[in-house]
Amino acid sequence: MYNAVVNEGLDRMSEMARGNFDLDWMDSNPAGWGHEVKPGKTGLTLCDVETGHYDQVPEHGSSHGSLAPRGCMVPDDTPSLDMYTLNEMSEVWSDNARHLYDEACNRQWNSTTDVPWHKLEKLPDDIEKSVCQMCTGFVEVEFVAGDMPAKWMCHINHDFHEVKLFLATQIMDEARHMDVFRKRALANGGGLLMASPASEELLAAILQANDYTTASSLMHIFGEGFILTLFRTGEFLAPTEVEKTIFRLCMQDEARHVAYGVKHLKYFLERHPEREGEIHSILDAGEQAIFRLTLEPQTIEPRAILAGGGIENIELGMARIGFLYSKQIREYLHRLKVAGLERESRMVIPAELSVETLLERAGVA
């Protein structure tokens, strides 16, 4: 009365009940047996266990196409999932992925208890509106760095699990970022203000990029690099300890994301120098999009008000924003240089945005 599958299982159980076991699995992987590890000072990390036999990452991911863990014995009849299209190590690998995963595990935080929300204070209307508008912008863009890894993860060969683990931490990081900025906008008597059509152009370029490495270059190095510099330098955009804490916590996460992107692009370009042109092309599009975004009123004006300390000091704020912009560009070019890409001569946007130059351009000075 049972079907064939159930009957087969019951037959096997009957054999076991009679004392007949298979036990082939016990000796299935002699090369991977007897592995020794030594926990480090911070506990047992991924870096601690991925040694010897388990440290052998294949340049071409295994062809069985299953979720079988790297380093185990894979039976011949293991079915393929037929999902993996990123099967070359060079397409996703970064030498720091393991280390960044370990660091991400150790440095998780949460927006519920790690931000001193009780220190929020009533702020002047122009400042609260500017904080809320800035947060609206962050809420809109933060999770692209969750959606993008999520789009590619299930296509990455399972032999590159360090990269998948790291990307999983990034998705969680970005969830926290979206959540913390949304909370800040809603927490102090204000609320969300205006979305940014110009942001969507950059977000679309990231999400619709044809391959993982171009998407990663645009997002991890360019987009997240700009945000990292802003969090690191933008103390003047944070009027209270609440925003300062948020920037500091997000900054440590963004530093990991950028570090992965820089090392991945380096690894990729060393093996595929012929693909440099494609990376430049997507950066051309990204630079134009971010320039349009930076100069959109709902992006630049709240930042200028915060940087000046109030709407009456918006000129001082503009000067500080100009300083921040040139720092973002300098650090962006430096990161690309470290990855092996000379971008300075190809950049399609200005390296500086000083108030004097803008007034000169407007014929005022």
Is residue 127 within the footprint of Fe ion (CB under 5 A)? Answer: no
CA distance 287 to 279: 12
Q: Which is nearer to Fe ion, 169 or 214 (CB)?
A: 169
Report the candidate in 333, 345, 240 with the shortest Cα–Cα distance to residue 325: 333
- The letter for the amino acid at 129 is K
Query: What's 113's DSSP letter?
Result: T
Shortest separation between residue 177's beta carbon and Fe ion, angstroms: 4
Task: Kindly indicate which of the ranges 16-24, 31-39, 51-59, 223-231 contains the residues binding Fe ion, using the contact rule CB under 5 A.
Answer: 223-231
Q: Which is nearer to Fe ion, 228 or 318 (CB)?
A: 228
Shortest separation between residue 138's beta carbon and Fe ion, angstroms: 8
Is residue 142 within the footprint of Fe ion (CB under 5 A)? Answer: yes
- 60 burial type by CB count under 10 A (0-12 exposed, 13-18 middle, 19+ buried): exposed
CA distance 348 to 317: 25
Is residue 257 within the footprint of Fe ion (CB under 5 A)? Answer: yes
Is residue 103 within the footprint of Fe ion (CB under 5 A)? Answer: no
Shortest separation between residue 333's beta carbon and Fe ion, angstroms: 20
**Helix axes 276-294 and 297-308, enclosed angle (nearest 10):** 70
Shortest separation between residue 63's beta carbon and Fe ion, angstroms: 33
Task: Kindly indicate which of the ranges 44-52, 144-152, 191-199, 234-242 contains the residues binding Fe ion, using the contact rule CB under 5 A.
Answer: 144-152
CA distance 86 to 363: 53
Is residue 224 within the footprint of Fe ion (CB under 5 A)? Answer: yes
C-alpha angle 350-140-170 in degrees, rounded to nearest 5: 90
Element (H, E) at 53: none
Shortest separation between residue 143's beta carbon and Fe ion, angstroms: 8
Q: Which is nearer to Fe ion, 243 or 254 (CB)?
A: 254
Q: Which is nearer to Fe ion, 257 or 264 (CB)?
A: 257
CA distance 129 to 306: 10
Shortest separation between residue 220's beta carbon and Fe ion, angstroms: 8
Interacting residue with Fe ion among 145, 153, 293, 353 (CB under 5 A): 145
Contact 173, 106 (CB under 8 A): no
Task: Kindly indicate which of the ranges 7-15, 42-50, 137-145, 305-313 contains the residues binding Fe ion, using the contact rule CB under 5 A.
Answer: 137-145
Identify the residue whose tokens are 């399609």.
Answer: 348
Task: Kindly indicate which of the ranges 6-14, 28-36, 254-262, 311-319 contains the residues binding Fe ion, using the contact rule CB under 5 A.
Answer: 254-262
Give me 55's structure tokens: 């440290």
Torsion of CA 287, 101, 158, 150, to 10 degrees: -40
Task: Kindly indicate which of the ranges 10-18, 208-216, 220-228, 324-332 contains the residues binding Fe ion, using the contact rule CB under 5 A.
Answer: 220-228
Interacting residue with Fe ion among 99, 129, 176, 177 (CB under 5 A): 177
Give me 203's structure tokens: 């977000």
Is residue 256 within the footprint of Fe ion (CB under 5 A)? Answer: no
Q: What are the residues binding Fe ion (CB under 5 A)?
A: 142, 145, 174, 177, 224, 254, 257
